[in-house]
Structure 1
Amino acid sequence: MTTSTPPLREAARAIVLDAEDRLLLLRYDENGGFWATPGGSLEDGEDYDTATLRELREELGIDEKAVELGAQLAERSKDHLVGGREVRQVEKYFLTRVWAAEVDPARASQPDNIREHRWWTLAELRATGETVYPHGLADLVTGVVAHGAPPRPVVLTV
């Protein structure tokens, strides 16, 4: 019996905080609805920093000059369907800081089925009954706000 590993899909995701340490999340309707951080797959020849900035521009209309790109905070691997085929997605999460006023979805060039964007306080994130990905995001952001970036990226599950 042979098992095959799905093809690798590398993705850059942004943990976007504003001046008040609120977290920006995007809502999608798929799979019963969920909230997630902005981001997506790397394009050919692209590094993670470049992909993070491009995704923020494409999904939220944020000018890259307005973004303070920080350290990699976490990583997550997950097998799932993308465009009808199974992939092993490896996501790297980067701290980004922007002014809330810089978010302008009207300038977004690829909104990718985003239904809504919302700034969440840590208290709101901890109290919500809605599905938020990745799991453990509230704890990660709480630690970053209190102590700064972890010395090594945290490994997140699911």
Structure 2
Amino acid sequence: MGADPDTGGASGARRVSRVILLDPADRILLLHGHEPADPTVTWWFTPGGGLEGDENHEQAALRELAEETGVTDVRLGPVLWRRRCSFPFDGRRWDQDEWYYLARTTQTATALAALTELEVRSVDGLRWWTSAELSAAHETVYPDRLAELLQRLLDEGPPRTPIVLAPEIV
């Protein structure tokens, strides 16, 4: 999520780093969010947010992960996927260029550690998911096809170069 729009990316899109965080059992950590004005509109999403100041994508990924999950003991890996997305949230449209990093951790204790004001109003939890649980979920999860992408990652390992996912326009 991240609080302040950064329009330094391609075509004015907000530059975002997201993290596919896996624990030793290959479970993925996802946050549960909702529209601030309507808590019945919910979804699960990967930790991450916009780049701040002059930080690079890797620095943003680690900072956002620590702020949103309390997880700081991580090994950041390669960029797995890239995605352009555009969606309404909190009364405005967000246009984003997202980079998804693989990360591994042995730290499974989590905390909504240092959320922004917007995140406090829109994030209500987090949990570790197995690939099977994610595949069976009937809830909205972002990015689209995350269960399939995660299973492919677990089966084949990281791609040699980042995979460009289909744009998601909501």
Shorter-chain TM-score: what band?
A: 0.7 to 0.9
Q: In structure 2, what is the equivalent of residue 92 of structure 1? A: 99
Task: Give the deviation of 1:6 after TM superposition.
Answer: 7.1
Task: Give the deviation of 1:87 after TM superposition.
Answer: 4.0
How far, CA to CA, are the matches of 1:42 and 1:81 in structure 2? 20
Contact 1:9–1:41 (CA under 8 A) maintained in structure 2: yes
Task: Give the deviation of 1:149 after TM superposition.
Answer: 0.3
Q: In structure 1, what is the equivalent of residue 19 of structure 2? A: 14
Trace 1:27-38 onto structure 2 (pairs within 5 A): 27-30=32-35, 32-38=41-47
**Residue 144 of structure 1 aligns to which amino acid in structure 2?**
L
Report whether the alignment pairs 1:23 with 2:28.
yes
Stretch deviating more after TM superposition (110-119 or 7-16)? 110-119
Trace 1:47-58 onto structure 2 (pairs within 5 A): 47-58=56-67
Task: Give the deviation of 1:84 after TM superposition.
Answer: 4.0
Over aligned residue pairs, what C-alpha RMSD do you find? 2.0
The alignment of Structure 1 onto Structure 2 pairs a total of residues equal to: 150
Q: In structure 2, what is the equivalent of residue 122 of structure 1? A: 131
Change (3 A) 1:90 1:76: same
Change (3 A) 1:46 1:130: same
Q: In structure 2, what is the equivalent of residue 153 of structure 1? A: 162
1:56-88 deviation per Cα after TM superposition (whole angstroms, max 9, x unaligned)? 11111122xx10100100011012346644342
The correspondence for 1:60, drawn from 53, 56, 69, is 69
1:72-112 deviation per Cα after TM superposition (whole angstroms, max 9, x unaligned)? 0001101234664434200000001112434233xx11161
Task: Give the deviation of 1:134 after TM superposition.
Answer: 0.2
SS in 2 for 1:142: helix
Unmatched 5+ stretches in structure 2:
1-9
How far, CA to CA, are the matches of 2:68 and 2:15 in structure 1? 18
**Residue 50 of structure 1 aligns to which amino acid in structure 2?**
Q
Contact 2:42–2:140 (CA under 8 A) maintained in structure 1: yes
1:85-144 deviation per Cα after TM superposition (whole angstroms, max 9, x unaligned)? 434200000001112434233xx1116132111111111111110000001211211111
Q: Percent identity?
A: 41
